[in-house]
Structures are given as C-alpha cells and as structure tokens.
Amino acid sequence: MTDTPMTPDQPAPVELTEQQLESLIDAGNRALNDHYHESQCHCDDWPASCVSSGHYFMGAWDTNAFAIGLPAVLSVWETLRNDRHAAKVSELRADNEALRARVAELEAAESRITAVELLVEEARDKCNHSVDTDLLLDALGLDN
Ligand SMILES: [Zn+2]
C-alpha cells in the first residue's frame, strides 16, 4: 500500500483487496439493476432474463459510480465504525473498573465476615455468650 498524504479532514483509506472492492462494486451495481428492474418491470424471470423487452437485462444499469464513490464512502464508514468501537472500548474499560471495584468491596466484606466468624468461634471456645464490642467493631472494619 502506498502512503499518500491526506488532508486533515479526509479519513484514512480502507484496506481492501481489489477483489473485495470489486465484489462491493458488483453488489452495488446488482442492487441498482434490481431496483430499476423492480420499478420498471418486476417479472419473475429476473435476473436471469426479463420478459418485458430485450432492453432490460442484468448489467443494463451498471455504472462507474460505485467504483468512483465506494472507496470514499467506505473510508467514512470505517471512520464512523472506528469511532463507535473506540467508544465501546471506553465503555468496557469503565465497566471493567467498576466491576474490579465491586470485586474488591465483596472481597473486603468476605474477609470481615471471616473475622467475625473467627471472633464468634473464639468466644464459643471460651464458653463466652457475648463478644467484646471493640473486637467486633474491629472485625467489622468499623472505627471505634
Ligand atoms: Zn422483467
């Protein structure tokens, strides 16, 4: 691929093989031919042939417009798509951060529960019917 200098507001060119671009151009021309046939005849023999007259055949409305315009159209489309992907990546990164923060909260809560369970076990081992409030607050991670 050659590096051609671009003006600032011109999007980067889409990287397509000649064959890929050709199939897109063919699809555009096929759609155009189908459209004009549909509006002028819409027989069941289309696209193999057309019953209305010899003037209508697949390719009758082929144009260079797709070959001329598609690279520019695809460049804009690619830019739009990249912008959308960049926005999605930012969104996913934010979600990821929020989830990591939530995991940290849940892990902290789990370790507080474990600390309280240990406190209760220790109290039972000593046949105590209550736990020290300061120790409980400490196990819960609360300031006392
Ligand atoms: Zn027809």
**62 CA to centre of ligand 1 in angstroms:** 16
- The pLDDT score that the predictor gives to residue 11 is 52
Give the separation between CA 84 and CA 88, rounded to whole angstroms: 6
For 106-139, write each residue's pLDDT tens digit. 999 999 999 999 999 999 999 998 889 999 999 9
Give the separation between CA 71 and CA 117, rounded to whole angstroms: 67
Contact status, residue 111 vs residue 47, Cβ threshold 8 Å: no
**In Å, how far from its chain's centre is CA 21?**
24
**67 CA to centre of ligand 1 in angstroms:** 26
- The pLDDT score that the predictor gives to residue 97 is 97
Taking the whole predicted model, whether its pTM rises above 0.75 is answered as no
Task: Annotate 77-103 with DSSP letters as a single string.
Answer: HHHHHHHHHHHHHHHHHHHHHHHHHHH
- The pLDDT score that the predictor gives to residue 103 is 98
- The pLDDT score that the predictor gives to residue 92 is 97
Pair of tokens at residue 143: 């300031």
Q: Which residues contact 113 (CB under 8 A, 6 or more apart)?
A: none
Residue 143's CB is within 10 A of a number of other CB atoms, namely: 6
Q: Is pLDDT of 1 > 70?
A: no
Give the separation between CA 99 and CA 104, rounded to whole angstroms: 9
- The pLDDT score that the predictor gives to residue 144 is 64
For 72-113, write each residue's pLDDT tens digit. 999 999 999 999 999 999 999 999 999 999 999 999 999 999
**26 CA to centre of ligand 1 in angstroms:** 20
**In Å, how far from its chain's centre is CA 14?**
18
Give the separation between CA 59 and CA 9, rounded to whole angstroms: 35
Residues 37-57: what's their mean pLDDT? Answer: 86
Residue boundaries of the structural domains of the chain? 16-63
**117 CA to centre of ligand 1 in angstroms:** 82
Contact status, residue 25 vs residue 89, Cβ threshold 8 Å: no
Whether the bond between 47 and the residue before it is cis, its omega within 30 degrees of 0, is yes
Give me the count of residues in the chain.
144
**42 CA to centre of ligand 1 in angstroms:** 5
For 6-18, write each residue's pLDDT tens digit. 444 555 567 889 9
**44 CA to centre of ligand 1 in angstroms:** 7
**140 CA to centre of ligand 1 in angstroms:** 80
